[in-house]
Every structure is written in C-alpha cells, then in structure tokens.
Amino acid sequence: MGRWKPDARGRLERAALELYTDKGFDATTVAEIAARAEVTERTFYRHFVDKREVLFQSNALADVLARATATAAAPLAPLEVIAHVLTEAAPVFEERAELVRQRQAVIAANPELQERELAKLASLGSSLDRALQERGLDSATAALTAEIGIAAFKVAFARWIDDPDQHAFAQHIRETLDATRQLTAPAEHAAATDDTSLQDQENGA
C-alpha cells in the first residue's frame, strides 16, 4: 500500500466519488475504493459503515443548521431566521463545491440513493423545526417555517448546482428567499392586464 499518507478519510471520499462517477454506484466495491485511496479495506470500515455511508456521512449540516437557528439574533422574523440559517450553511457546500456536485450527480443516477437523500432532507427539516421551537416559536409556526426553509434550500441548492456562472451559494439563497417573498405577497391583479392579453401571453409561451 506504499508509504503512509495523511487524510485517509478525505482520500477515501474522493476515491469513492470518482469510482461512483466512472463505474456507477452499484458496480463499485469497497475493495476498489480502498485500493484507489491507497489504504486497506479495514481502514475504509474504520471511517464508514458501508459504501452508501460515504455519500451520507455528514451530520455537519444538521449541526450548522441547529446552531445557526439557536444563535440567530432574537428579534428576527421567522423567514429572516431561515435566511440567516441557510446563509450560515452555505460555506459547508462552497468549501467543497466540486465534491458536492460529483455527489449530486451520483445520487441523481440512482433512485435508491434519491430516496435516502429525501429522508435526510426530511430529517433536517425536523431538526430545524425543533430548533425553531426552542427559539420560542409555537409548534404550528415552527413546522411551517421549517418546511418553507427546506423548500427554499432545495430550490437554492438545485440552482447553485446547475449555475453555469457559478455564483456563490449564498447569492442563490438570497435570490430564492426574495422570490419566495414575492411569490407569497398578496396578489395585485395588475390593472393593465386583462384576461385576453394574459391568454395571448400563455399561448405564446
């Protein structure tokens, strides 16, 4: 296995993502991941329970969200707490943008991994819900705020992953939350727009 190198865990993760990308998740074995990372299989199992866990290892995000929710300044409105929390979480993704994009492509190619990802997002939503209640929000408001927060996170994340201009994740979060405010603002039926013109617009779309 050659001489000892530092950061076995990081090398295992990068090796796994390369193999999942090249060969597919199902066709990759732990032995191959260990060989590419230049460690033994035993070392792999010291860091991860199985090859799926390489993709879903991190409680880092849940920790960041819970801490940011607890420490957000007191007079913030619920959606401002969400804005603060998601902005605090942005570096978790930006610092490892390339690995995050690789990981997302692997998950998108595999329905079983997608279900696992949805379960993980739902569990993030529950953590956010609890953290909001600990801030003093009533349970109905906390549940709704948490769901809207996760909805905004999903949309901002998808925009960031697909952004050809590679704008910062934090910018996509801001834009998504601004769009949320606009979407949910009381509708003003523009006086200048009557049914016919909108119909034309839709037909042209």
Tell me, by CB under 8 A, how many residues bind its own copies. Answer: 47
Q: Report the residue number, 164 or 205, with the smaller CB distance to its own copies.
A: 205
Spatial contact of 149 and 85, defined as CB atoms under 8 Å apart: yes
- Dihedral of CA atoms 24, 30, 32, 37 in degrees, nearest 10, equals 110
The Cα 68–Cα 181 span in angstroms is 21
Q: Which listed range, 19-27, 48-56, 89-97, 145-153, lies at the site for its own copies (CB under 8 A)?
A: 145-153
Residue of the chain from 30, 35, 61, 79 that contacts its own copies (CB under 8 A):
79
Q: Closest approach of Cβ 175 to its own copies, in Å?
A: 9
Spatial contact of 85 and 72, defined as CB atoms under 8 Å apart: yes
167 binds its own copies (CB under 8 A): no
180 binds its own copies (CB under 8 A): yes
Binding mask 1-40 for its own copies (x = CB under 8 A): ----------------------------------------
| Half-sphere exposure for 137 (CA within 13 Å, toward CB) | 25
Residue of the chain from 136, 164, 165, 166 that contacts its own copies (CB under 8 A):
136
165: which residues sit within 8 A by CB, 6+ positions away?
Answer: none
Spatial contact of 149 and 89, defined as CB atoms under 8 Å apart: no
151 binds its own copies (CB under 8 A): yes
Binding mask 181-200 for its own copies (x = CB under 8 A): x-xxxxx-x---x-x--xx-
Choose among 81, 8, 82, 65: nearest CA to 38: 8
The Cα 66–Cα 128 span in angstroms is 6
Which residues contact its own copies (rule: CB under 8 A)? Answer: 73-80, 114-116, 118-119, 122, 135-136, 140-141, 143-145, 147-148, 150-152, 154-155, 158-159, 176, 179-181, 183-187, 189, 193, 195, 198-199, 201-202, 205
